[in-house]
Amino acid sequence: MSKLLIKGGRLLDPESGRDEVADILIQDGKIYEIDPVASSLDAEAVDARGKLVIPGVIDLHVHLRDLEQAYKETIESGTAAALHGGVTTVFTMPNTQPKLDCTERIKEYLDLIRNNAKVHVHVVAAITKDLKGEVLAELEAYPDLSVWFITDDGCDVDDEKLLEQAYAKAKGLGLTLMTHPEMHSIAPDGVVNEGKISQQLGVPGQPNEKEYKAVERGIRLAKKTGAHAHFTHLSAKESIELIRQAKKETDLITCDVTPHHFSLTEDLVLTKGGLAKVNPPLRTEADRQAIIEGIKDGTVDAIVTDHAPHSMEEKDTDIKQAAFGFSEVELLIPTTLNELYHKQEIELMDVVRLMTSNPAKLAKLKSGRIQSGAPADLTIIDLELEKKVNQEDIVSKGKNTPFDGMTLKGWPVMTVFNGEVYKD
């Protein structure tokens, strides 16, 4: 029986509210005992004094690529990046090549996960066949494949009648729609945020309306069908306000945001170019502050990365041609702690909750907590550690990130996954 003893760390568990210095004894991949002074003569000891010990971080939105896009990322490389960044569970999107829209494809991908994943990986499957928004995918098959989130991430379902059918079916099957809110009919060629930067660069922009009109529609359909609607990577101040008001009327609505949208603004595009191109785009300071307020008042339910690795050739090019998205899963913790805890001075418990217990509840996982009998997935963090981001040190195949060269404070130094230790 393998045993591990994490000694003297500051244990912080949002689900129970526990915040104290304690030892954690792990046995056979599960938390066995939590005690101010635990002991076990035959356990491997890890000194966590002066460090923060939290539940293993959960990222509800990543792109692991593989299959025909293995040059961008593989399940092995993407989950190695997650492990390196203190993330022990990820949910991978269906816009692979080919798409994860049917039993055969999902089973093939699950086999790759079983053989190559270094952390827990859950599949988020497509709403429509080939993500074209024309015909619903095999939604009825998803529960038997342990799929609980569905999305056409990378785009939205424009056909409202079809989208309503998806919501209704999701309600009956116990699925949650993870909506990428975007009205394609509004500024379909938008490259960056619509405003001063798009004008300065002379490129088409994406107005906030492109996002919040889709949020508006999704809230309305969720209320009509009784389905759970989760809106991902919100970027616009109007979207946050719509979610805030909807939550006063129903418990069917949840949302998440990314570190790049609450840490960065559209101005970065002027210096980083295609490396800062993402969908939805980096927006204004007013939008950034609105997201932070949404985090502070509980409107936001989770923090995700939308980890979207690409080759450097696809990113370091003309802004119009550059691919949308960048690598971020291994930077989730320092980007979040640097902005929300160190700069905004949001309570540490509240920040950690958005990366652990909240996403665990949304996904109905047993993890995301530090309690006896829970999975032994833990993230150990040095809150005071400051490091400069160097894209060459990124473990993901996608080395591109707009955070390159920035100094961040609060880094993971050790990850415990299934009771085994991974050190940076």
Q: So which residues are the catalytic ones?
A: 306
Q: Where are the beta strands (DSSP E) in 104-212?
A: 120-123, 149-150, 176-179, 192-193, 205-206
Of the candidates 392, 403, 417, 421, the one whose C-alpha atom is nearest the C-alpha of residue 87 is 417
Q: Are 390 and 404 in contact (CB under 8 A)?
A: yes
DSSP 188: T
Of the candidates 34, 39, 40, the one whose C-alpha atom is nearest the C-alpha of residue 22 is 34
Cβ-proximal residues to 298 (8 Å cutoff; 6+ apart), any chain: none
How open is the CA angle 287-289-292, to the nearest 5 degrees?
115
**Whole-angstrom distance, CA of residue 36 vs CA of residue 53:** 14
Q: How far is CA 134 from CA 94, 131, 289, in A?
A: 16, 8, 37
Strand, coil or helix: 364: coil
Which burial class, exposed, middle or buried, applies to 366 when counting CB atoms under 10 A from its CB (0-12, 13-18, 19+)?
exposed
User: Which residues lie across from 256 on neighbouring strands?
Assistant: 302
Cβ-proximal residues to 284 (8 Å cutoff; 6+ apart), any chain: 193, 195, 265, 266
Determine if the peptide bond prior to 280 is cis (ω within 30°): yes
**Whole-angstrom distance, CA of residue 394 vs CA of residue 210:** 32
**Whole-angstrom distance, CA of residue 177 vs CA of residue 182:** 14
Which H or E run includes 17?
none
Strand, coil or helix: 329: helix
Of the candidates 131, 133, 128, the one whose C-alpha atom is nearest the C-alpha of residue 159 is 133
